[in-house]
Amino acid sequence: MKNSTWLGRGIALTGVAALAFSVAACGNGDGDNGAAGGSGDGDLVTVGFVAVGPEGAWRQANEENVQSTFSSDAGFDLRYSPSQGGDQNSQIQAFTDFVDQGVDIILLSATEGSGWEDSLRRAQEAEIPVVLIDRGIEPDDTSLYETRIAPDNVDVSTSVAEWAISEFPDGGTYFVLEGPAGVSVVNERNEGWKATISGHDEFIDGGAQTANWSTDEARSVFETVLRSSGNGIDFVFAQNDEMGLGAAQAVSEAGLVPGEDVKIATIDGSRAALEALVDGRLSFVAEYNPLVGQTALDAVNTILDGGTVDSYLIVPSTTFDDPEATEAALPDRDF
> Among 140, 65, 130, which residue's Cα sits nearest to residue 91?
130
Q: Whole-angstrom Cα distance, residue 219 to residue 110?
A: 26
- Residue 42 pLDDT: 58
> Are residues 161 and 122 part of one domain?
no
> Are residues 232 and 217 part of one domain?
yes
> Among 88, 125, 126, 85, which residue's Cα sits nearest to residue 108?
88
> Are residues 108 and 22 part of one domain?
yes
> Are residues 283 and 295 part of one domain?
no
**Better-predicted residue by pLDDT, 26 or 305:** 305
> Are residues 233 and 180 part of one domain?
yes
- pTM value is 0.85
Q: Is residue 321 part of a domain?
A: no
What would the pLDDT profile of 78-116 be if each residue is shown by its tens digit?
999 999 999 999 999 999 999 999 999 999 999 999 999
- Residue 9 pLDDT: 33
> Are residues 201 and 223 part of one domain?
yes
- Residue 329 pLDDT: 95
C-alpha distances (whole Å) from 186 to each of 76, 91, 108, 312, 333 are 32, 19, 17, 18, 24
Q: Is residue 248 part of a domain?
A: yes
> Are residues 134 and 167 part of one domain?
no
Residue 334: pLDDT band (50, 70, 90) is confident
Asked whether the beta carbons of 168 and 117 are under 8 A apart, the reply is no
C-alpha distances (whole Å) from 335 to each of 30, 168, 276, 290 are 35, 31, 14, 10
- Residue 87 pLDDT: 95
> Among 277, 286, 273, 285, which residue's Cα sits nearest to residue 317?
286
> Are residues 135 and 258 part of one domain?
no
For residue 35, pLDDT beyond 70:
no
What would the pLDDT profile of 186-217 be if each residue is shown by its tens digit?
999 999 999 999 999 999 999 999 999 999 99
> Are residues 133 and 73 part of one domain?
yes
Rounded to the nearest angstrom, the gap between the alpha carbon of residue 118 and the centroid of all alpha carbons in its chain is 24
> Among 222, 333, 202, which residue's Cα sits nearest to residue 278?
333
DSSP state of 332: G
> Are residues 172 and 59 part of one domain?
no
For residue 159, pLDDT beyond 70:
yes
Q: Is residue 324 part of a domain?
A: no
Asked whether the beta carbons of 149 and 211 are under 8 A apart, the reply is no
Q: Is residue 47 part of a domain?
A: yes
> Are residues 144 and 166 part of one domain?
no
User: How crowded is the C-beta side of 250, counted as CA atoms within 13 Å?
Assistant: 28
Number of domains in the chain: 2
CB atoms < 10 A from the CB of 115, how many?
16
DSSP assignment string, 103-139: -SEEEE--SSSSS-HHHHHHHHHTT--EEEES---SS
Q: Is residue 204 part of a domain?
A: yes
> Are residues 113 and 172 part of one domain?
no
**Better-predicted residue by pLDDT, 21 or 285:** 285
CATH of the domain at 240: 3.40.50.2300
Q: Is residue 222 part of a domain?
A: yes
Q: Is residue 326 part of a domain?
A: no
Average pLDDT over residues 174-180: 97
Q: Is residue 116 part of a domain?
A: yes
Give the domain range for residue 247: 153-287
